[in-house]
Amino acid sequence: MTLQLGVLISGRGSNLQAILDAIAAGTLDARVRLVVANRPDAAGLTRAKAAGITTAVVEHKAFGDRTTFEHALVALLTRASCDWIVLAGFMRILTREFLSAFPERVVNIHPSLLPAFPGLDAQAQALAYGVHVTGCTVHLVDEGVDHGPILAQTTLEVEPADTRDILAGRLLEKEHALLIATLAAIASDRLSIEPAATGDARPTARWRGAPPRV
């Protein structure tokens, strides 16, 4: 089925661009119904407008609390008929207020092999730790920071020449490919999400065939 995507951004939106490019190339059966930024200066808004996508700015600073901010986001995304939400460099933690509106349908991409290096600047964290292998992770969002069930992961070897920015750039290519491959698998029913069996368990990603190697 064609995914009806809402994409949340805070910055340049390079993962949004990857989605738009994949849709244009026919490799992803999806439509971006709405792009929402929580900052009016998010450069990704320009990309979205250039592609003829409806955009909105919902400044978290303008809301008195997290709950009303998230209610505003939900209202916009549901009115636009979004059924899957992609966090593409969206730098706000989402709570149950938001997540319960899209149960097990909020996806995030993170530039590390989670659970290693959650949070800000995972690339710098990985370099500082001195790992030999890092990667990126596409996962369902839950209330933890970069914590939800893993949908797909891919690895990248750290090279001696890697600075933070070189590594981030190399990871970004992997992020784009892994995010597109994962969304395409959801759209074509090769990846499905089984709800948690019990209250303690987490939902499980079920792949038909092997997860993507990118």
Q: Which residues bind to a second copy, rule: CB under 8 A?
A: 113-117, 129-133, 135, 149-150, 152-155, 160, 202, 204-205, 207, 211
Q: Which is nearer to a second copy, 10 or 123 (CB)?
A: 123
Q: Which is nearer to a second copy, 75 or 128 (CB)?
A: 128
Taking the C-alpha atoms of residue 165 and residue 162, their distance in angstroms, rounded to an integer, is: 8
Q: Which is nearer to a second copy, 73 or 150 (CB)?
A: 150
110 part of the active site: yes
* Burial (CB count within 10 angstroms: exposed 0-12, middle 13-18, buried 19+), residue 71: middle
Taking the C-alpha atoms of residue 181 and residue 186, their distance in angstroms, rounded to an integer, is: 9
Rounded to 10 degrees, what is the CA torsion of 82, 77, 138, 92? Answer: 180
Q: Considering the complex, what minimum distance in angstroms separates the CB of residue 170 from a second copy?
A: 16
Q: How many CB atoms lie within 10 A of CB 213?
A: 10
Q: Considering the complex, what minimum distance in angstroms separates the CB of residue 72 from a second copy?
A: 32
The residue annotated as part of the active site, out of 60, 110, 147, 176, is 110
Q: Considering the complex, what minimum distance in angstroms separates the CB of residue 129 from a second copy?
A: 6
40 close to 134: Cβ distance less than 8 angstroms: no
Q: Which residues are catalytically annotated?
A: 110
